[in-house]
Chain A
Amino acid sequence: MQFGIFSVGDVTPDPVTGRTPTETERITNITRIALATEAAGLDVFATGEHHNPPFVPSSPTTLLGYVAARTRTLTLSTATTLITTNDPVKIAEDYAMLQHLSGGRVDLMMGRGNTGPVYPWFGKDIRKGIELAVENYHLLRRLWREPVVDWQGEFRTPLRGYTSTPAPLDGVPPFVWHGSIRSPEIAEQAAFYADGFFHNHIFWNTEHTAEMVGLYRRRFEHYGHGSADQAVVGLGGQVFMAGTEKEAVRRFRPYFDNAPVYGHGPSLEDFTRMTPLTVGTPEQVIERTLGFAGYAGAYQRQMFLIDHAGLPIDVVLEQIELLGREVVPTLRAEFERIRPSHVPSDPPTHASMLAQGPSAPFHLVQPALAYAANAEPSVAVPA
């Protein structure tokens, strides 16, 4: 199982000191967080993509390229890449380039963004959010799988005889996740292509996460990729740890109370009950996190949000170190203990996809069996 850190990349004043980091400080700190993630023995670092203050990561592959050069094993990912407003041609090129530079340590997560105006800023219509996510991603798959692409769609200027360059490393496209909090269409999309489905998990109640993941799993099976419990699932999590629960709550409360997304709203205690937020000891984090599999099924990637709400960098680095030393080793062992043997432990990696050879289904633009056969699996086919 993979464990990692994901960052929204917000520049938020520290509510305790009142100090706001400069953009340079924040960007540098994000790279320190990524390096600390590998140093702590975790597997993945993922950055958000935003095009408005107070966020800094507008250029994810620049950031991840820097991190790639300074790490050896870390998987570089996104949370999320805006499949709606980015040109899929540029996504194909940027992330293939990053694959080559990082030795294949790349996957990415498609999302639709968190602010309305980003659509018009990039010449798009927010009412077409789902249609954009569907069409743009389909083109992206073709650009990574077909040497020469002819394309005509609704949203992008047509392509004739286009070759995306560089081609994916070893002819293996990066593994893709689709992230969505509330849209069933995105769970359906992930299931159709046998891509991963990631639920942010931390900004919505857990019953809802279970429903979204359940939908994705059922549709993954429907499209003939395997049994529902073999679908590739990632979840977010949010933790703050100290030696005692009381101490953790005391230190984290001012950050919680002023956090950009939920501050001045529900109490820390209520939010802890409703969402995966865990503020307490490493043992409490272990127990809570293992519980996620109870409603989401045995899953493959757990990402933690650590660095938001103005938490100072030394505290963030201390939390990552704690995760690596006291939490993740136990989680690795315990999650494997409860995992059924036919359920994969890790999401696909460059190495595992390469090892599957050129006839592996992921090489197809449309690997869904139910769709290709133009028949529902429930229809009996004579042997």
Chain B
Amino acid sequence: MSRRIVVVTAGLSQPSSTRLLADQIAAAVTTQVAARGESAAVEVIELRELATDLAATMASGGMPTAAVREARDQVSSADGLVAVTPVFTASYSGLFKMFFDALDPAALTGMPVIVAATAGTPRHSLVLDLALRPLFTYLRAVVVPTGVFAATGDFGTGAESEALSSRIGRAAGELAALAVSGSGSLGSSVPGSGDERRRTSGTRLDTDVTPFATLLRGHRG
């Protein structure tokens, strides 16, 4: 079975170290899914290409442009998500946040997620646990225990670089295990929670209507 892994990357420069990290994680996830006897198809969403669409969506009361709508469907129907942002002013970038703001609140329910970030200095590393994790927890995603933080120095050779590779491998293994178990597919709720809130991209009307007799709660006349 093929699992769809969507990579959301918020790097702005070309080439981008954020994209570089995203590609390394994606490759590791592909390897780890293969190690579990399945294949992974990776789709990359470069948020830079959605920048004006996201702004237009925000400034028109949330009406998604065609490109935003497509990205929403793409993300919610994935089996796993890799979310990578550069650190700007002590947190994820505004563009990164704007994308997740444009999703339905139930868009990532039960979704296995790797959080990752790049920065010029290792002193920003807590951004993963203080900014990205709470964001995805709010969205009821399942964030894997290992986050991937890469400062510029980690892209060199030596001990730092090896440590980065090993973190990437560990995170990829954790995501692959969840993605292959199929615990986080579209329409699913948080596994074993008894919670009925299902994942939805929100781009289509939920036609599963509550019958009016239920809404009326016994009023007669």
Interface residues of A (CB under 8 A from B): 130-131, 134-135, 138, 141-142, 145-146, 153, 184-185, 187-189, 191-192, 203-205, 208, 211-212, 215, 219, 223, 261-267, 270-271, 274-275, 365-366, 368, 371
Instruction: Please report the C-alpha to C-alpha distance between residue A135 and residue B215 in the assembled complex, in whole angstroms.
Output: 9
Instruction: With CB as the reference atom, state the residue of chain B lying closest to A223.
Output: B212
Known: A138-B216, A262-B59. A184 touches B207 (CB 8 A): yes
Among B60, B64, B204, B212, contact of A211 (Cβ-Cβ < 8 Å)? B204
Among A145, A153, A264, A371, contact of B59 (Cβ-Cβ < 8 Å)? A264
- A-B contact list, 29 entries, CB within 8 Å: A131-B215, A134-B215, A138-B221, A145-B221, A184-B205, A184-B210, A185-B210, A188-B210, A188-B211, A188-B212, A191-B212, A204-B63, A205-B64, A211-B205, A215-B205, A261-B61, A262-B59, A262-B61, A262-B63, A263-B59, A265-B55, A265-B56, A265-B57, A265-B59, A266-B60, A274-B65, A275-B63, A368-B212, A371-B213
The answer to the question of B130 belonging to the interface, with a C-beta cut-off of 8 Å to chain A, is no
Q: When the two chains form their complex, are residues B215 and A141 in contact, meaning their CB atoms are under 8 A apart?
A: no
Known: A211-B205, A274-B63. A266 touches B56 (CB 8 A): yes
Known: A265-B55, A265-B60, A266-B56. A141 touches B65 (CB 8 A): no
Number of A-B pairs, beta carbon distance below 8 Å:
84
B150 to nearest A CB, angstroms?
A: 35
Residues of A within 8 A of B61 (CB): 203, 261-262
Q: When the two chains form their complex, are residues B215 and A215 in contact, meaning their CB atoms are under 8 A apart?
A: no
Known: A142-B221, A261-B61, A368-B212. A184 touches B206 (CB 8 A): yes
The A interface is mostly helix, strand or loop, or mixed, namely helix
Residues of B within 8 A of A215 (CB): 205, 207, 209
Instruction: Please report the C-alpha to C-alpha distance between residue A355 and residue B199 in the assembled complex, in whole angstroms.
Output: 50
Instruction: Please report the C-alpha to C-alpha distance between residue A142 and residue B65 in the assembled complex, in whole angstroms.
Output: 43
Q: When the two chains form their complex, are residues B209 and A141 in contact, meaning their CB atoms are under 8 A apart?
A: no
Instruction: With CB as the reference atom, state the residue of chain B lying closest to A139.
Output: B219
Residues of B within 8 A of A365 (CB): 220-221
Q: When the two chains form their complex, are residues A192 and B209 in contact, meaning their CB atoms are under 8 A apart?
A: no
The answer to the question of B34 belonging to the interface, with a C-beta cut-off of 8 Å to chain A, is no
Q: When the two chains form their complex, are residues B221 and A184 in contact, meaning their CB atoms are under 8 A apart?
A: no
Q: In B126-165, which residues have CB < 8 Å from any A CB?
A: none
Residues of B within 8 A of A142 (CB): 221
Q: When the two chains form their complex, are residues B205 and A208 in contact, meaning their CB atoms are under 8 A apart?
A: yes
A342 to nearest B CB, angstroms?
A: 25
Residues of B within 8 A of A263 (CB): 59
Known: A184-B206, A189-B215, A266-B65. 15 other contacts (CB 8 A): A134-B217, A135-B217, A138-B221, A145-B221, A185-B209, A185-B215, A187-B209, A191-B212, A203-B61, A211-B207, A265-B57, A265-B59, A270-B65, A271-B60, A371-B213
The answer to the question of B51 belonging to the interface, with a C-beta cut-off of 8 Å to chain A, is no
Q: When the two chains form their complex, are residues B213 and A184 in contact, meaning their CB atoms are under 8 A apart?
A: no
Instruction: With CB as the reference atom, state the residue of chain A lying closest to B221.
Output: A365
Instruction: With CB as the reference atom, state the residue of chain A lying closest to B211.
Output: A188
- Give B189-221 as 1s and 0s: 1 = Cβ < 8 Å from A's Cβ atoms: 000000000000000111101111101110111
Known: A185-B209, A215-B205. A266 touches B221 (CB 8 A): no
Instruction: Please report the C-alpha to C-alpha distance between residue A122 and residue B57 in the assembled complex, in whole angstroms.
Output: 31
Instruction: Please report the C-alpha to C-alpha distance between residue A131 and residue B217 in the assembled complex, in whole angstroms.
Output: 9
Residues of B within 8 A of A223 (CB): 212
Among B56, B69, B206, B220, contact of A270 (Cβ-Cβ < 8 Å)? B56
Q: When the two chains form their complex, are residues B205 and A203 in contact, meaning their CB atoms are under 8 A apart?
A: no
Instruction: Please report the C-alpha to C-alpha distance between residue A212 and residue B207 in the assembled complex, in whole angstroms.
Output: 9
Instruction: Please report the C-alpha to C-alpha distance between residue A263 and residue B61 in the assembled complex, in whole angstroms.
Output: 10
Residues of B within 8 A of A189 (CB): 212, 215
Q: When the two chains form their complex, are residues B219 and A135 in contact, meaning their CB atoms are under 8 A apart?
A: yes
